[in-house]
Every structure is written in structure tokens, then in C-alpha cells.
Amino acid sequence: MLELKNEHLTATFLTTGAELISLKDSKGTEYLMRDERYWGYTAPHLFPVIGMLQDSTLRHEGRNYPQKRHGFARNMEFQVASQKEDTLVFDLLSSEKTKSLYPFDFLFRVIYTLKNTALTISYQVENRSSEVMPYSVGAHPAFWVPFQKDEEFTDYALVFEKEEHLERVPINIETGLLKKPKTLFMEKASRIPLQKSLFKEDALIFQNLESSYVTLESSKNEGTVRFHFKEFPFLGIWTTDDDAPFLCLEPWAGHADYEGFQGDYLEKEDNVLLNQNESRTFSYTIEIR
């Protein structure tokens, strides 16, 4: 395991999936959930697919490539490209194995930067193919809710930076595919009180929010997590609808397939497209307050 540490936070990582598996403050409070009783990951990186594809298949130029939910990067072994006192960089390069699932040459770089009470996670994707490369990229960190033993899930709320008109992208809970049209979730709202019933139909998915961050806060204690996601067009919010004590905040560039989509991955709605030798970076930040 690898570590970044300062006087405020300690972050711990695995090379498998370049995954962040622990984030503790100076008091020893753990903010990230790592417990396979509830979920098999802690903060996986989603690439080159987010969510489910129609028939679990990526289609490109007449060929079919098998793709599991959220892509393959979260289960791949990354190389440590560099480590400094406040920065850790992981690389995943395309290989024969990845090209059997995703027919493009790429560099997928995950950069962690620890500064004061915040950890920034950046995704740099570079197209090393000789053609346009489509992809989705995002994150799936799971936070303990509650943080403290004297609290309940329902003591918490998500508070957006700005008042929002929240329209939800519906999910087919049987297939994991998205549905149209969007449905009204909340109008003129900046606060979502948390309750498990919100997640009976899977994740809450919102697009193009006005806010650049959302704060996870308790009505009983002062500690909060401020989650900055401005660079991503989608925000997913998910937990199970049972008593599992966690909540995932998921910034996405891309999403699952819509029902019935059978087209080339190049044609998929909201994918990111890179020309040859082009790169693009998306970042989000977890701030402990």
C-alpha cells in the first residue's frame, strides 16, 4: 500500500485499480467505506465505460467487445509513475488484454494531490491510437454515512452550493440502462435530506447542475465532506436501499447506455471524444471540513 500524508489527512492507496482505500483526518476519523459486507470497492475509477452497456457489449466498426459494468480499469494493475510528498501518480497503458475489451491505444493516468484538508483526484486520458477515441470516465467513492457512532443515516443531508432544479435520469433497475425522459426530483431545492427510500430505483443521476460542489453534512456533528465536481457534467448519488451505512458521490463524464442503443461507441451520447495524440483531464476534490 502507498500513502500520502500531511498534518490534516492521511490517504492510503492500492496499485490495483489505483484505488484510494482510506481517507482519515488527524483525529483518526475514517471517511471512506471499505467493507465487503456492503460493497466490494471503496473508491474505484470508472474507465472506459460508466455503468452498463446494452447487452454488456461495446460496439466499434462492426465488432463486439465484452464490457462489464463500469469498465475494466478498477480491476487492473496500475504502475506508479511518480510519488512526491504531496502527489502520487498512477498509469495504466493499453495492452493486448485491454484491446480485447476496448480497441484503442491509450494512457489512463490517475493523479492524487494532497493539499491542506483536501485530496484532488485527476483523470488524464491520452489517445495514442490513430483514430478518434471515445470513452467515459468517472469516480465512485463511498463515504461512511454516518461518520460517527452516535448518528444515523437520516441525520445527514446533501447541501448544494446553489439552488437547483433537480431532474433525475431514470434507471431500469432490472438492466441498469438509462431511460428517457428525465423526471422531476425536486424543484428550487438546495438540500436533500438523506433517507434510504430515495434509492429504491437505484442511483440519483443529475446532469449539468448549477452548483460546483455539494456538502455532506450531519445535523448532530460539525464535521462535513465538501465534494467538488464542477468539471464533470453528471453527478450520480447512490447507496443500497437496505441498512448499509454508506453513500457514493459519483462525478461522471459519460454514463450508462440508454435503453435500445445499438450504435457504435463513437456515437454514444455524452461520451468524450479525443483525436489522435490529444489528451484531456477531469478532476474532482474531496475536502474534509
Residue type at 205 in one-letter notation: I
Paired residues of 252 in beta bridges: 138, 234
Contacting residues for 125 by C-beta, under 8 A, at least 6 apart: 47, 106, 107, 108, 109, 135, 137, 272, 274, 279, 280, 281
Please report, for the chain, the start and end positions of each structural domain, with discontinuous segments joined by +: 2-288
What's domain 2-288's architecture?
Distorted Sandwich (2.70)
What is the chain's pLDDT, residue by residue, as a tens digit (289 residues)?
999 999 999 999 999 999 999 999 999 999 999 999 999 999 999 999 999 999 999 999 999 999 999 999 999 999 999 999 999 999 999 999 999 999 999 999 999 999 999 999 999 999 999 999 999 999 999 999 999 888 999 999 999 999 999 999 999 999 999 999 999 999 999 999 999 999 999 999 999 999 999 999 999 988 899 999 999 999 999 999 899 999 999 999 999 999 999 999 999 999 999 999 999 999 999 999 9
CB atoms within 10 A of CB 156: 24
- Buried b / exposed e over 111-130, threshold 16 CB at 10 Å, is bbbbeebbbbbbbbbbbbbe
Paired residues of 207 in beta bridges: 234
CB atoms within 10 A of CB 222: 7
- What integer pLDDT is reported at residue 240 of this predicted model? 93
- pTM as predicted: 0.97
Distance, CA of 255 to CA of 253 (rounded, Å): 7
- Could you give phi then psi for residue 198, rounded to 5 degrees? -65, -20
- What integer pLDDT is reported at residue 139 of this predicted model? 99
- What integer pLDDT is reported at residue 38 of this predicted model? 95
